């Protein structure tokens, strides 16, 4: 049996976590396949199933019905919205690209890099050859951060 003090601490922790969850916006976590579809919608705007399927087939073979099923599941999850345009359905991303990127980056940074932004950036720059324009953007961001204007 749990003693009174530990029971109170346990209940307090559950309440704290529940309150934390209420204050955080719930962003559905897209799967890898759903991220591919979201990327198409972010780049192209509202799209038909046929358009999304054609774009996916530029990467790898995907059946039309598979794409349709994914879009239906994503609609049920609230990741995309479906609008009827005559007999055609047009899908729009409900999630902002920046929000999904931030969510995935935080998860990656915590899970793989122990919460260290430094380790994440060093690994990324060490394994990927950044262009001069990308390096210039990185330097500009560092200058903003050092100046405190971000």
| Number of compact structural domains in the chain | 1
Cβ neighbour number for residue 41 with a 10 Å cutoff = 23
Q: Is residue 147 part of a domain?
A: no
Average pLDDT for runs of 10 along the chain of length 150: 50 56 64 95 97 97 97 95 91 94 88 87 83 88 78
pLDDT value of position 121: 84
CA 56/CA 34 separation, integer angstroms: 11
Q: Is residue 145 part of a domain?
A: no
CA 93/CA 37 separation, integer angstroms: 9
Residues shown for the chain: 150
pLDDT value of position 78: 93
71 lies in which domain range?
Answer: 32-93
Q: Is residue 109 part of a domain?
A: no
Strands (DSSP E) contained in the chain are 47-48, 80-85, 88-93
Task: Output the domain CATH number for residue 57.
Answer: 1.10.10.10
CA 43/CA 29 separation, integer angstroms: 19
Query: pTM for the full model?
Result: 0.70
pLDDT value of position 77: 93
């Amino acid at each position: 049996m749990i003693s009174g003090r530990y029971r109170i601490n346990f209940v307090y922790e559950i309440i704290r976590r529940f309150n934390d969850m209420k204050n955080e916006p719930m962003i559905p976590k897209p799967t890898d396949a759903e991220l591919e579809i979201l990327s198409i919608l972010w780049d192209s705007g509202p799209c038909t199933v046929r358009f999304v399927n054609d774009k996916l087939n530029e990467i790898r073979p995907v059946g039309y019905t598979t794409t349709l099923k994914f879009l239906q599941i994503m609609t049920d999850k609230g990741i995309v919205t479906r609008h009827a345009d005559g007999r055609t359905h047009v899908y729009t991303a409900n999630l902002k690209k920046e929000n999904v990127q931030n969510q995935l980056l935080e998860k990656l940074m915590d899970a793989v890099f122990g919460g260290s932004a430094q380790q994440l950036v060093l690994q990324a720059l060490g394994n990927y050859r950044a262009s001069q324009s990308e390096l210039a953007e990185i330097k500009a961001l560092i200058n903003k951060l050092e100046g405190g204007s971000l």
